[in-house]
């Protein structure tokens, strides 16, 4: 029996060992599914000529993914390699079950499910001839891109967004060696020195046919268990290999030999917080620069050391040691004077030089403090008189002089240590940091120039530096805890000291806690809000943003003391309603709220509105609020959630109808669409706006007497954009006049063409709309009359339509301009006329020829036949008594046409006769 147990244990152990490199199902259901799917062949599509096929340490990314499917999941996989278009089409048609790498797009989601992310990609434009830093560097260039690809769409969007003149050349495949400019992914262009990021591309994943959705869940677990780390490692190794090969190929024979003979170098760093500062715990320099150079020299196989004494030395001593040759390489900013004495590499990092200015003291003249032989000293000489610069050997002494008002200003690389309430802190200049070497190190300088920023990933360095900083803080804290423990254990006599120290710590914590609160309202401060957003990116709940209405008027009228009372009251009312939530006072009269419980948000909003309405203080000063809110999902970032709430708040404030508004999906989508329209409308007016024409008929005999020119806009990305959408945006941006002027010219040009070809009678009249904002312009009369002269058209063939609201602002100015038009023979009409405005009384004095009834009047005949007809008849009689013509808009049915004809309406237009068309077809 004992032998059987031993054999059973051995068998199970052996099975476990051999199964460690195979996927273990997580349930019986999953095991049954895998058994079934393994019995059928699955076709795996792999794209030709892709970086995933490159070998790094004898394996490619495709090898890794193929191993996942074949060996780890033990699927019956048949590999099919081919061109992307062919593979994608076969995948859509169901002939391929899995595609190794598929970009997540809405189009592919219709027939595919996606695994978790394999890698991220960014679209870049590469130049073979010049450095690229801003979008304008690509202006007036020809850029190659693979046609019918996501890259093509993103490049088109980038071109429109940045208003660039780019000729996009679409090809089947890229010849990267022959093309001067081309668009491709960052992973396909590793090692290219001159490139510009265009946009982030959707994630690349394993694409699986929708019918295999259960398999997708298993693949995701396999990725998490084993393959995500392998894929990341492969991508890093590939990047390093590309950089290293490129670097090694760039070296000359002499440079190769120099590297072989090079001995250990001593490196010197300046004590610059966060960039390179000495750690007393680690006995070495830590930060971005040490991490960057350690990584760089390690990949170059160059040994470097940091002398422990360097951490105890001041900058002047460090500089002198370098000057005397005790240090081989120093991180130093390049200046004209230094360039005469030392060799410098290309830039390795950028530093901000801050101007710390004491705005509360007034010396006879500016006194600027800087450290001797520092980069700040060089910058100071560029910006200030030499007599106003005071040079220090000791930084503490310089800071003390600033605090004691002996200096007005100091220049510093670190602004965090200065009180922002006491000092004005601004960036004076951005200074590059280089590596400095002695003059005889020319070959080493050339080698480093080839390697800098090609052999290291600065993003990874920044991440590693941040981790180093956190580790040091934790080490400091641990050291402090151990020290306290030793004190407690070694001597009871020190309890009094410990108690005193504890009291100081508690006081310090209490003081810090008070700093976290807004001193006026007691709510959380902006500092806490920033930390809250940083540490709670993925929680769900509701973000709310409230802004007080009429608060500025209160402050300006009664003073800040009254404003403070209102802010305190607002804080109390908010705490009464949102007592279990996070409430922040950000600035002025802005309050941000985050509620973890979204279910009763609307009731809370109703309650806070009621509290404001019932507050005697708020009623006394007529203070209300505008509030926007957004229901945040865990996948949304906190910053964007509050941004959406902010958009909703401004919408509520603008509408003035409701106290609050929700940032719904449709609301956010509409705002994004509006933003896109705002960005492209100006450059689209001359290329994408076009006129359509709707004929006007004499109702009595059916003759065409004229037409109306209407504006249309079709954008290649957004499609047809309706006038109701783009006209308010154009008006808000001050661009409506450009549209009006363009359509006016199209109307005049079309009319001239119709008359010359004899398609219409000599009294044919074309109308177009003119907005209130256009009519306000000083040049409007001159411009329209200039168009008549340009096309040799008589004013009698033109009709300008204006709305009733035009006369509500400046009747005198409008009337003057209309009279100028009338003197030139141009007909004038009021568009969209109803009985709702005060212009009914002005009709006798305005220079108007025609009144166009709004389509709502004719629609009322259908809604309430008898009442609608009486209203129409009454208005018609009144207009006719003033000797004005009537045009009926919106005629869509025969019954309407017969009624209008019966009561003697002069002219009409509408879908009953025909829809607006690009070309007039005069019968």
Q: In 405-536, where do the E strands start and end?
A: 409-412, 423-437
- Taking residue 45's Cβ as centre, other Cβ atoms within 10 Å add up to 23
- Given this model, what pLDDT does residue 660 score? 92
Q: Measuring CA to CA, which residue among 148, 115, 147 is closest to residue 216?
A: 115
**Contact predicate 541/598, CB 8 Å:** yes
Distance of CA 359 to the CA centre of its chain: 35
Mean pLDDT by 10 residues, the chain (923 residues): 54 44 88 90 87 88 91 92 87 91 84 89 88 85 88 87 87 86 87 83 89 91 90 86 78 87 84 66 73 77 71 70 87 81 83 80 74 82 87 89 89 81 83 86 86 60 54 57 65 58 48 65 89 86 93 86 91 91 89 89 93 92 93 84 90 85 88 86 90 92 91 88 90 91 94 92 93 90 94 93 70 84 90 62 75 81 70 82 85 87 88 88 68
C-alpha–C-alpha distance, residues 400 and 391, integer Å: 14
Within 13 Å and on the Cβ side, how many CA atoms surround 440?
3
Phi first, then psi, for residue 549 (nearest 5°) are -95, 140
Tell me the CA distances in angstroms from 676 to 150, 157, 424, 671, 712, one per residue in order.
Answer: 19, 11, 38, 9, 17
Tell me the CA distances in angstroms from 834 to 721, 803, 874, 879, one per residue in order.
Answer: 27, 10, 12, 12
- Given this model, what pLDDT does residue 464 score? 53
**Three state DSSP letters for 781-809:** HHHHHHHHHHCCCCHHHEEEEEEHHHHHC
**Contact predicate 97/76, CB 8 Å:** no
Q: In 186-264, where do the E strands start and end?
A: 195-200, 204-209
Would you give the DSSP letter of residue 837?
S
Within 13 Å and on the Cβ side, how many CA atoms surround 453?
13
- Given this model, what pLDDT does residue 364 score? 61
C-alpha–C-alpha distance, residues 639 and 618, integer Å: 30
- Given this model, what pLDDT does residue 577 score? 92
**385-413 burial string, b = 16+ CB within 10 Å, else e?**
eeeebbbbeebeebbebbeeeebbbbbbb
Crossing angle of the two packed helices 560-577 and 551-558, in degrees rounded to 10: 150
β-strand 765-769 against 798-803: which pairing, if any? parallel
**456-472 burial string, b = 16+ CB within 10 Å, else e?**
bbeeebeebbeebbeeb
**Is residue 168 classed as helix, strand or coil in its secondary structure?**
strand
- Given this model, what pLDDT does residue 841 score? 61
pTM above 0.85, yes or no: no
Q: Under 8 Å CB-to-CB from 464, ≥6 apart: which residues? A: 291
* CA-CA-CA-CA torsion sign (875, 876, 882, 885): positive
Q: Measuring CA to CA, which residue among 826, 848, 849, 830 is closest to residue 751?
A: 826
Using the structure block, give the residue that is written with the tokens 């920023």: 453
**Contact predicate 398/369, CB 8 Å:** yes
Q: Give the neighbor-by-neighbor strand order of the sheet with 98-103.
A: 77-82, 42-47, 98-103, 204-209, 112-114
Q: Under 8 Å CB-to-CB from 744, ≥6 apart: which residues? A: 768, 770, 783, 784, 787
Q: Under 8 Å CB-to-CB from 156, ≥6 apart: which residues? A: 168, 716, 717
Residue count of the chain: 923
CB-count burial class (<10 Å; 0-12, 13-18, 19+) for 12: exposed
C-alpha–C-alpha distance, residues 748 and 691, integer Å: 11
Would you give the DSSP letter of residue 459?
H
- Given this model, what pLDDT does residue 813 score? 82
Tell me the CA distances in angstroms from 20 to 222, 231, 691, one per residue in order.
Answer: 12, 19, 71
**Contact predicate 585/591, CB 8 Å:** yes
DSSP 568-621: HHHHHHHHHHSTTSEEEEEETTEEEEEES--TTHHHHHHHHHHHHHH-HHHHHT
Q: Under 8 Å CB-to-CB from 817, ≥6 apart: which residues? A: 775, 780, 781
C-alpha–C-alpha distance, residues 159 and 142, integer Å: 12
**Contact predicate 143/186, CB 8 Å:** no
Would you give the DSSP letter of residue 117?
-
């Amino acid at each position: 029996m004992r032998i059987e147990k031993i054999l059973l244990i051995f068998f199970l152990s052996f099975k476990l060992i051999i199964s460690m490199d195979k996927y273990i199902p997580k349930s019986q259901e999953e095991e049954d599914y895998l058994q079934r799917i393994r019995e059928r062949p699955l076709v795996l599509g792999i794209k030709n000529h892709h970086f995933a096929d490159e070998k790094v340490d004898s394996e490619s990314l495709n090898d890794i993914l193929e191993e996942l499917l074949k060996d780890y999941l033990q699927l019956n996989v048949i590999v099919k390699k081919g061109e992307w278009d062919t593979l994608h089409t076969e995948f859509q048609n169901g002939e391929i079950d899995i595609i190794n790498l598929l970009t997540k797009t809405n189009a592919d989601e219709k027939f595919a499910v996606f695994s978790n992310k394999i890698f991220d990609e960014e679209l870049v434009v590469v130049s073979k001839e010049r450095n690229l830093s801003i979008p304008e560097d690509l202006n007036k260039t020809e850029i190659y891109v693979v046609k019918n690809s996501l890259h093509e769409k993103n490049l088109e969007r980038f071109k429109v967004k940045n208003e660039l003149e780019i000729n996009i050349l679409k090809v089947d495949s890229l010849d990267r060696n022959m093309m001067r400019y081309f668009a491709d992914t960052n992973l396909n262009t590793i090692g290219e020195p001159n490139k510009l990021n265009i946009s982030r591309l959707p994630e690349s994943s394993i694409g699986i046919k929708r019918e295999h959705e259960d398999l997708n869940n298993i693949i995701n677990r396999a990725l998490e268990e084993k393959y995500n780390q392998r894929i990341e490692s492969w991508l890093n190794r590939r990047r390093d290999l590309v950089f290293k090969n490129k670097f090694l190929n760039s070296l000359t024979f002499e440079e190769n030999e120099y590297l072989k003979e090079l001995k250990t170098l001593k490196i010197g760093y300046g004590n610059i917080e966060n960039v390179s500062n000495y750690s007393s715990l680690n006995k070495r320099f830590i930060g971005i620069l040490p991490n960057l150079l350690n990584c760089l020299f390690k990949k170059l196989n160059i040994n470097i050391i940091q002398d422990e004494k360097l951490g105890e030395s001041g900058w002047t001593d460090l500089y002198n040691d370098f000057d005397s040759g005790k240090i081989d390489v120093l991180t130093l900013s390049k200046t004209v004077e230094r360039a005469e004495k030392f060799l410098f590499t290309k830039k390795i990092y950028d530093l901000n030089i801050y101007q710390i200015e004491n705005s509360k003291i007034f010396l006879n003249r500016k006194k600027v403090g800087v450290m001797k032989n520092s980069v700040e000293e060089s910058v100071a000489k560029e910006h200030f008189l030499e007599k106003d610069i005071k040079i220090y050997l000791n930084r503490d002494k310089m800071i003390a002089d600033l605090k004691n008002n002996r200096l007005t200003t100091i220049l510093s690389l670190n602004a965090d240590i200065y009180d922002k309430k006491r000092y004005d802190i601004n960036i004076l200049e951005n200074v590059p940091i280089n590596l400095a070497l002695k003059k005889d190190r020319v070959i080493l300088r050339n080698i480093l120039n080839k390697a800098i920023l090609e052999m290291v990933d600065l993003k990874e360095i920044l991440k590693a530096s941040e981790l180093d900083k956190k580790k040091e803080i934790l080490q400091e804290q641990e050291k402090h805890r151990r020290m306290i423990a030793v004190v407690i254990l070694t001597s009871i006599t020190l309890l009094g000291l410990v108690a005193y120290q504890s009291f100081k710590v508690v006081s310090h914590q209490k003081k810090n806690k008070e700093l976290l609160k807004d001193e006026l309202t007691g709510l959380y401060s902006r500092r806490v809000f920033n930390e809250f957003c940083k540490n709670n990116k993925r929680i769900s709940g509701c973000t709310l943003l409230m802004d007080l209405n009429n608060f500025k008027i209160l402050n300006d009228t009664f003073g800040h003391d009254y404003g403070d009372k209102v802010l305190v009251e607002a804080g109390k009312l908010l705490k009464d309603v949102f007592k279990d939530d996070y409430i922040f006072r950000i600035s002025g009269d802005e309050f941000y709220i985050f509620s973890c419980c979204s279910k009763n948000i609307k009731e809370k909003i109703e309650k806070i509105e009621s509290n404001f309405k019932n507050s005697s203080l708020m009623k006394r000063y007529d203070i209300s609020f505008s509030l926007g809110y957004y229901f945040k999902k865990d996948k949304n970032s906190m910053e964007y959630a509050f941004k959406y709430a902010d958009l909703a708040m401004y919408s509520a404030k603008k509408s003035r109808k409701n106290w609050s508004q929700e940032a719904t999906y449709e609301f956010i989508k509409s705002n994004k669409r509006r933003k896109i329209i705002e960005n492209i409308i100006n450059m689209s007016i001359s290329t994408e706006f076009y006129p359509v024409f709707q004929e006007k008929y004499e109702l009595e005999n059916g003759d065409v007497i004229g037409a109306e020119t209407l504006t249309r806009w079709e954008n290649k990305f957004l499609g047809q954009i309706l006038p109701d959408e783009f006209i308010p945006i154009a008006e808000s941006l001050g661009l409506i006049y450009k549209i009006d002027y363009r359509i006016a010219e199209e109307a005049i040009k079309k009319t001239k063409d119709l008359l010359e070809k004899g398609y219409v009678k000599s009294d044919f009249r074309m109308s177009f709309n003119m907005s209130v904002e256009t009519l306000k312009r000083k040049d409007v009369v001159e411009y329209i009359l200039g168009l008549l002269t340009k096309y040799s058209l008589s004013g009698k063939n033109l009709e300008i339509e204006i709305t009733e609201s035009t006369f509500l602002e400046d009747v005198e100015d409008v009337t003057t301009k209309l009279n100028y038009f009338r003197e030139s023979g141009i007909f004038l009409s009021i568009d969209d006329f109803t009985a709702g405005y005060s212009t009914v009384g002005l009709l006798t004095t305005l220079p108007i020829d025609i009144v166009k009834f709004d389509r709502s009047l004719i629609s009322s005949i259908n809604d309430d036949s008898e009442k609608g007809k009486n209203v129409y008849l009454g208005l018609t009689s009144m207009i006719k008594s003033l000797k004005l013509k009537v045009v009926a808009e919106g005629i869509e049915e025969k019954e309407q046409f017969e009624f209008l004809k019966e009561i003697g309406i002069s002219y009409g237009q509408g879908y009953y006769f025909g829809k607006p068309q690009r070309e007039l077809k005069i019968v």
